[in-house]
Amino acid sequence: MTTWYFLHSGKCSPSYNMALDEALLDWHSEGLIPPVIRFYEWEPATLSIGYFQQAARDINLATVRDQGLGFVRRPTGGRAVLHEHELTYSIIVTESYPNMPKTVTEAYRVLSEGLLLGFQNLGMEAYFSVPKTEAQQQDLKKPKSAVCFDAPSWYELVVEGKKVAGSAQTRQKGVILQHGAILLKLDLEKLLSVFNFSSEEVKQKMREKLPHKAVAMNTLIDRDVTIDECVTAFKEGFATALDITFEPMVLTTEQLKYVEDIEKRKYANDDWNFKK
């Protein structure tokens, strides 16, 4: 078995969360740390957008401000996610890690196996989504909506036909960074309020459609799952799926300074967050 670092950061600002993920990627690329599994939350609740998204086009920025939400552009692709009632995970591992598939799609499958086992540890019958028709596969290439949970992508987690975890991936400096949201609860109206729609009719269609496509785990079982339960279940899931053991990671003063420098230069900077 291989030893990875495990880091549970708790609630952090949106800019710090993204800066820390990037710092972990940098340190791993330089051989300074082993692969890492990280869990974290968001303070305040935050709308994150994918690297390629156009903020002004897709997002109702006035509503984001009025509701006191954080806002940040991720280094990964994918669509916008409202991070509120959730546990977020990130995985940092080299592309050359033993038995790691070369393709993004198959790497998703390997890395997300821990999520699958995590949901099963919590008593849910989860499975991987695999779009079957050519039309569904085209939807993944050209999504119709800016909303992340509008549809499952390849090898994302589905329970009762509905998406329960959304993930995104980037590869830089020979390292894979995959992170994603594990939904505990979903506030549909708040989610809809932060997106721009071409008309009220289109917004209403999304309001009607989304509950059939996305689901939070606390609507699937007859009790409220806590963050601590999720951390335990998914940590065990990743350990089993990847055949690894964990060593707790504690950031040094020097490492904290490195993260803060990235945060100030990039993720807390409007030039980054609104560049598209």
Catalytic residue IDs: 148
Q: Are 129 and 163 in contact (CB under 8 A)?
A: yes
Q: Which of 261, 274, 273, 272 lies closest to 26, judged by CA?
A: 261
3-state SS, residue 194: coil
Task: Give the single-character DSSP code of 264.
Answer: I
| Gap between the Cα atoms of 92 and 111, Å rounded | 10
Task: Give the single-character DSSP code of 218.
Answer: G
Question: What is the β-pairing status of strands 175-183 and 86-94?
Answer: antiparallel
| Gap between the Cα atoms of 244 and 252, Å rounded | 24
